[in-house]
């Protein structure tokens, strides 16, 4: 059972890392602010989500698992708001492509 | 082991690269962004060195608060940016700066490398006397019992910094409110965040202050989070910065340092020395001082971000 959980952790965290890598590549390669933001939010939402999901079986106490999930939710809230702010500022200041 | 070593080496290289980028950036904004990233990397380094107290402080003050202050400075300096960039200092001047910086770095490196092994430490003594203070976190014991004077002066320095910022105000605005932090274009998502996050942030800040007595945490880290929540509500346009001449503002600002000082002076009679705590009351006094300081530090940090008064006093 613990081997299965370990495999699950490795797979989920690796997948999360792939999303972060893709997000970073997108941030560097995409042409304008909105598409870069699009790449970045995938890393924030799915990448961090997968990493948290992968780490859940490794927690020793339920409280630690709750803390991980709360951290993910807080990042969701913050990154969602920041993306909105950046996108609106970009739309006001950058001419539409 | 080798994986940890590779991680540490990667971290060191990244930090050096970030530091060089921050210095080499020609304009203010990229330099500030580099500095914030540098602070976050430094947080990871402190975690690797098993110093979570310092890591928390670095993340809150070094990465977060200083970053916000510098970003504020950047937006105020935008008008002066082009002339500042076009002005290139002379070659001898730059050589002198480089030479002196190299000398300073070399001196620090030499001091670190020439430390006797094992390095002299008071840690065992500090840990042995921990039970006398009643707190379980050695860092808190150092900050508020063994070296309480340093912390007292630190809280006074923070007030001085705020007085320095206020003194930039033109005479006609003295005593008035700082300019509003709200965005020019009101944003629904920011005002939602400004309403949802503060209850969570304030509870988290209070928790970090409270747990600081026995685990990594403490007033500065907690106060930064609480102060950040105040700044967030001001940025979301839900609150406006208060007039700095109001009595309650001044009282909150000095409450922490004043209470700390009062406990310190009372120590002369109750425990025989300045800043000495009477036996058996050390922990309760330490927690009381931390609570008072938290309020003051949070208010000071929020007003530091708000900046100098920019409106006349309302009559």
A7 touches chain B (CB under 8 A): no
The whole-angstrom distance between B103's CA and the closest CA on chain A is: 37
pLDDT tier for residue A92 given thresholds of 50, 70 and 90: confident
**pLDDT, position B81:** 79
pLDDT tier for residue B190 given thresholds of 50, 70 and 90: confident
A85 touches chain B (CB under 8 A): yes
Overall average pLDDT of the B159-165 stretch: 93
Domains of chain B by residue range? 1-87, 123-315
pTM above 0.90, yes or no: no
User: Which of the pair, B135 or B232, is modelled with greater confidence?
Assistant: B232
Query: How does DSSP classify residue A95?
Result: P
Instruction: Pull the structure tokens for residue B89.
Output: 């200092």
pLDDT of residue B102 exceeding 90: yes
Instruction: Pull the structure tokens for residue B164.
Output: 């320095």
* Range with lowest mean pLDDT among A25-29, B123-127, B168-172, B284-288: B123-127
Domains of chain A by residue range? 2-93
pLDDT of residue B1 exceeding 80: no
pLDDT tier for residue B278 given thresholds of 50, 70 and 90: confident
pLDDT tens, residue by residue, B20-29 = 999 888 888 8
The whole-angstrom distance between A1's CA and the closest CA on chain B is: 26
Contacts of B183 in chain A (CB under 8 A): 85
Mean per-residue pLDDT over chain B, rounded: 87
Q: How far is CA B175 from CA B169, B234, B267, B301, in A?
A: 9, 19, 36, 18
Contacts of B196 in chain A (CB under 8 A): 77
The whole-angstrom distance between A57's CA and the closest CA on chain B is: 22
What is this model's ipTM?
A: 0.82
pLDDT tier for residue A96 given thresholds of 50, 70 and 90: low
**pLDDT, position A97:** 55
pLDDT tier for residue B164 given thresholds of 50, 70 and 90: very high
């Amino acid at each position: 059972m613990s081997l299965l959980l370990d495999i699950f952790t490795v797979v989920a965290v690796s997948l999360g890392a792939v999303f972060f890598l893709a997000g970073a590549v997108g941030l560097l390669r995409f042409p304008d602010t909105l598409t870069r933001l699009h790449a970045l939010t995938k890393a924030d939402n799915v990448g961090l989500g997968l990493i948290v999901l992968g780490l859940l079986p490794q927690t020793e106490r339920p409280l630690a698992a709750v803390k991980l999930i709360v951290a993910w939710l807080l990042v969701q809230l913050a990154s969602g708001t920041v993306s909105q702010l950046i996108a609106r500022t970009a739309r006001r200041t950058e001419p539409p492509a | 082991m080798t994986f940890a070593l590779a991680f540490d080496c990667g971290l060191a290289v990244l930090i050096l690269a970030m530091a060089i980028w921050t210095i080499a950036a020609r304009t203010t904004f990229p330099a500030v962004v580099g500095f914030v990233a540098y602070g976050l990397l430094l947080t990871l380094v402190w975690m690797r060195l098993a110093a979570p107290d310092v890591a928390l402080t670095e993340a809150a003050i070094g990465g977060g608060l200083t970053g916000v202050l510098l970003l504020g400075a950047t937006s105020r300096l935008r008008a002066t940016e082009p002339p500042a960039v076009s002005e290139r200092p002379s070659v001898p001047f730059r050589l002198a700066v480089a030479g002196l910086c190299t000398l300073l770095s070399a001196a620090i490196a030499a001091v670190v490398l020439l430390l006797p092994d094992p390095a002299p430490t008071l840690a065992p003594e500090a840990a042995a006397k921990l039970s006398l203070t009643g707190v379980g976190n050695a860092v808190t014991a150092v900050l508020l019992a063994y070296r309480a004077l340093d912390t007292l002066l630190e809280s006074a320095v923070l007030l001085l910094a705020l007085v320095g910022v206020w003194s930039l105000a033109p005479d006609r605005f003295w005593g008035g409110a700082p300019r509003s932090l709200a965005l020019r274009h009101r944003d629904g998502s920011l005002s939602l965040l400004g309403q949802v996050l503060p209850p969570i942030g304030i509870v988290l800040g209070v928790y970090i202050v409270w747990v600081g007595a026995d685990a990594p945490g403490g007033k500065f880290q907690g106060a930064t989070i609480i102060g950040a929540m105040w700044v967030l509500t001001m940025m979301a346009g839900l609150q406006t910065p208060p007039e700095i001449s109001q009595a309650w503002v001044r009282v909150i600002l000095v409450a922490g340092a004043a209470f700390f000082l009062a406990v310190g002076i009372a120590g002369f009679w109750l425990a025989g020395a300045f800043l000495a705590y009477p036996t058996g009351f050390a922990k309760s006094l330490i927690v009381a001082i931390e609570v008072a300081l938290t309020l003051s530090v949070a208010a000071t940090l929020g007003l530091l971000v708000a900046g100098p008064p920019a409106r006349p006093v309302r009559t």
